């Protein structure tokens, strides 16, 4: 991490977390943040997931650039793929503030944003106008809080976004919209995925549809969900979203309501990832997210069954350059250990799933 980045992080951490988040977006939009300019890549890192060619397997998770305002800078920040959103059909303000909390001692954050965004029309217009890039850019899609037909909301966003996004992620795992996680049930999820795929196909475009799941599923629920996913038409799974669990936290804001992400989520999300990998039996690739903040942790996610990883919370503590550092570190380790991403994926799933 450069001295400029260290100074920037120190300054941001003196601000309210949501104000710091918004300021970082404005700084990137204004070109004030140093960026590598392109995703680091090599023959060891190039990979294909769900038909998407990635220069490296280190992506940005949804939630940072909610309104697709800085797609250009993010595709030059070292990520191998970028996910923006979540977008809902209509704009909505989200939950009352404060709704974002740093848990510095735990290297974590808690958020209860509640899908605050400017709406699908504005977000999709920015996706359509984004600069050309070899880095795939996808959209996380959701439902309005006051919707009477949430499945129809997902389909509507998919219909608007499909011609402009490289992939679409169905977000049924956020804990911050009441009863949203109910859509992870087998019957509801199968119908939801089919509705999104049908809406996508109406446009003539065919970006792959991904599904993001929660880390708080018990064995029976995960087994049922895997059975649905295998035959659903989804192209990939993202495991996992934030957790409601608060075990072992020591920071002052530990009991705030909302989704917990960051370092404490790593073990829980990686166990879910490994169990899902075994249940899917190679039928779908998995993107591992939850607590990744180092090369070793990215490596462990891959061993547990991921074909790629995503970052978000660790960037708050280690800076945007973390993506480039992890990508370079993975390439060096793959060379040193004379292995490939394909061979690494799932190589220790049994250990993590135990």
Question: What pLDDT, on a 0 to 100 scale, did the predictor assign at position 264?
Answer: 98
Question: What pLDDT, on a 0 to 100 scale, did the predictor assign at position 175?
Answer: 81
Question: What pLDDT, on a 0 to 100 scale, did the predictor assign at position 150?
Answer: 94
Give the closest residue to 147 by CA, choosing from 157, 160, 162.
157
Question: What pLDDT, on a 0 to 100 scale, did the predictor assign at position 10?
Answer: 96
CATH number of 34-353: 3.20.20.70
Contacts of 217 (CB under 8 A, 6+ apart): 184, 225, 272
251 catalytic per annotation: no
In whole angstroms, what is the distance from residue 286 CA to residue 150 CA? 25
Question: What pLDDT, on a 0 to 100 scale, did the predictor assign at position 321?
Answer: 97
Cβ count within 10 A of residue 1: 13
Contact between 100 and 154 under an 8 Å Cβ cutoff? The reply is no
Contact between 93 and 125 under an 8 Å Cβ cutoff? The reply is no
Identified catalytic residue from 24, 174, 261, 307: 174
Question: What pLDDT, on a 0 to 100 scale, did the predictor assign at position 176?
Answer: 72
Q: What per-residue string of b and e applies to 134-152 under the rule 16 or more CB within 10 Å gives b?
A: ebbbbbbbbbbbebeebbe
Question: What pLDDT, on a 0 to 100 scale, did the predictor assign at position 303?
Answer: 98
Segments of the chain scoring below 50 in pLDDT? none
Question: What pLDDT, on a 0 to 100 scale, did the predictor assign at position 1?
Answer: 85
Average pLDDT, the chain: 96
């Amino acid at each position: 991490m450069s001295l400029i980045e260290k100074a920037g992080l120190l300054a941001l951490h003196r601000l309210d977390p949501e104000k710091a988040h918004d300021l970082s977006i404005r700084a990137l939009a204004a070109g004030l943040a140093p960026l590598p300019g392109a995703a680091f890549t090599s023959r060891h890192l190039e990979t294909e997931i769900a038909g998407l060619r990635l220069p490296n397997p280190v992506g940005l998770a949804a939630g940072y650039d909610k309104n697709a305002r800085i797609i250009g800078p993010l595709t030059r920040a070292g990520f191998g793929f970028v996910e923006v959103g979540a977008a809902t059909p209509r704009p909505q303000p989200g939950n009352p503030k404060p709704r974002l909390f740093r848990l510095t001692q735990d290297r974590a954050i808690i958020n209860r944003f509640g899908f605050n965004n400017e709406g699908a029309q504005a977000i999709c217009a920015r996706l359509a106008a984004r600069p050309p890039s070899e880095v795939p850019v996808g959209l996380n899609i959701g439902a309005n809080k006051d919707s009477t037909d949430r499945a129809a909301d997902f389909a509507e966003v998919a219909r608007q976004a499909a011609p402009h996004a490289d992939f679409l992620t169905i977000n049924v795992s956020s804990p911050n919209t009441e009863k949203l996680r109910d859509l992870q049930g087998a019957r509801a999820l199968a119908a939801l995925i089919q509705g999104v795929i049908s809406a996508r196909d109406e446009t003539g475009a065919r970006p792959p549809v991904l599904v993001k799941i929660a880390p708080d599923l018990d064995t029976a629920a995960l087994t049922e969900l895997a059975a649905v996913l295998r035959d659903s038409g989804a192209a990939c799974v993202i495991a996992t979203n934030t957790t409601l669990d608060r075990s072992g936290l020591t920071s002052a804001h530990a009991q705030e309501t909302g989704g917990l992400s960051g370092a404490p989520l790593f073990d829980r999300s990686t166990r879910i990832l490994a169990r899902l990998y075994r249940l899917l039996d190679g039928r779908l690739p998995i993107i591992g997210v939850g607590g990744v903040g180092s090369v070793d942790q990215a490596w462990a996610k891959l061993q547990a069954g991921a074909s790629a990883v995503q970052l978000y919370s660790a960037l708050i503590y280690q800076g945007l350059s973390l993506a480039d550092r992890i990508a370079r570190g993975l390439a060096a380790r793959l060379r040193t250990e004379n292995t490939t991403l394909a061979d690494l994926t799932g190589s220790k799933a049994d250990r993590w799933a135990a």
